[in-house]
Amino acid sequence: MSASFRLAAAAALCAALALPALAEEPVPPGLDGVGIDQHLDAQIPMDLTFKDESGKTVVLRDLIGGKPTILNFVYYECPMLCTLVINGLVSSMRVLSFDAGKEFNVVTLSIDPKETPDLAAAKKKNVLAEYGRPTAEQGWRFLTGDEASIRRLADAAGFQYKYDPETGLYAHASGLVVVTPSGRVARYFFGIEYAPRDLRLALVEASENKIGTMADTVMLFCYQYDPEKGRYSAAALNLIRLGGIVTVVSIASFIFLARRREVRHAPRPAA
C-alpha cells in the first residue's frame, strides 16, 4: 500500500474522529463502534500491567501514584491524529503552572499490541523535549501492552477503537480521560485542542481540591463540567449566588465603615 494512500486515509480518519463522540452527525461507513462513551465515576482496573518505555513491566496503580492522572489512548506509528492529540495536550500543559510528575501524572497507552517499548521511548523523548518540564520524566509514562490488557483498560474508560486491515490503520476518536488518584473516571475532553483552564479545573476537581489555589475553588463554584460538550461552562445559578454574596458583603462593609467614621467624628461631650 502506497504511503500517499495511507496518508489520505489518515486525513479522512482525522476529519471524522477529531469531533466529539456525542455529536449527532451520522457515523461514516466503517466507523460504527468507534468513539468515546462517557463512563463517569467508573473504576478503571488498577491492577493491569504494561511495559513502560524502558521495557520494564509496570502496574497501572503505581503509574497513577495517588495523583490525578490524564489518560490518553494513541498508537505511536499513527500517521496523523495521535500526534495532533499529543501536541494539543502538550500545548495545554505548558500553560499550566502544574507540573506533570508533581501535581499530576500522565499515562499514554498504545492501542496497537504490536508496538514495542522502543517506539514508546522514541515518542517520549520527542514529547518531553517539547514539554520541557524535568519532572515529566517520571510523571509522564508511555506504555505498550498485550491486546487483553489494552482492551480491558480502553473498555473501562469508554474508549472504542477498531483496526482497519485495508488501510493498516486504527480508527479511533481523539480525546483525553482524567481519572482520580483512586482510578475513577472524572472528566472527558474531546478533540485535539484542550482549553488550559478546563484541564486545570478537571485536575483540581479530580484531586478533590488537594492541588490548586483558592482561586481554583472559586472557579469550580462558578463553572461546572458539561458532559455533553466535554468542557466547563458557566454555572448561571452559582454566578447569581456569588453575585448576591458579593453584594451583601459589600453593603455590610459600607455600613460598617460608615458607622466607624460617624462614631470617630461625633462631637465629644464637654468635661
pLDDT digit of tens for each residue in the chain (271 aa)? 444 434 334 443 444 444 444 444 554 556 678 999 999 999 999 999 999 999 999 999 999 999 999 999 999 999 889 999 999 999 999 999 999 999 999 999 999 999 999 999 999 999 999 999 999 999 999 999 999 999 999 999 999 999 988 888 999 999 999 999 999 999 999 999 999 999 999 999 999 888 988 888 888 878 888 888 888 887 643 433 434 444 544 554 555 555 666 556 556 665 5
* DSSP secondary structure code for residue 239 in this structure: H
Nearest CA to 158 among 130, 179, 137?
179
Model's pTM, two decimal places?
0.77
211 three-class SS: coil
pLDDT given for residue 64 in this prediction: 97
pLDDT given for residue 261 in this prediction: 64
pLDDT given for residue 237 in this prediction: 38
Q: What angle do CA 31, 37, 43 make, to 5 degrees?
A: 140
Give the span between the Cα atoms of 202 and 68, in whole angstroms.
9
pLDDT given for residue 263 in this prediction: 57
Domain 9-24+32-233 belongs to what topology?
A: Glutaredoxin (3.40.30)
Give the span between the Cα atoms of 160 and 184, in whole angstroms.
18
pLDDT given for residue 266 in this prediction: 57
pLDDT given for residue 52 in this prediction: 97
How many residues would you count in the chain? 271
Nearest CA to 234 among 270, 201, 187, 185?
201
Nearest CA to 70 among 107, 109, 20?
107
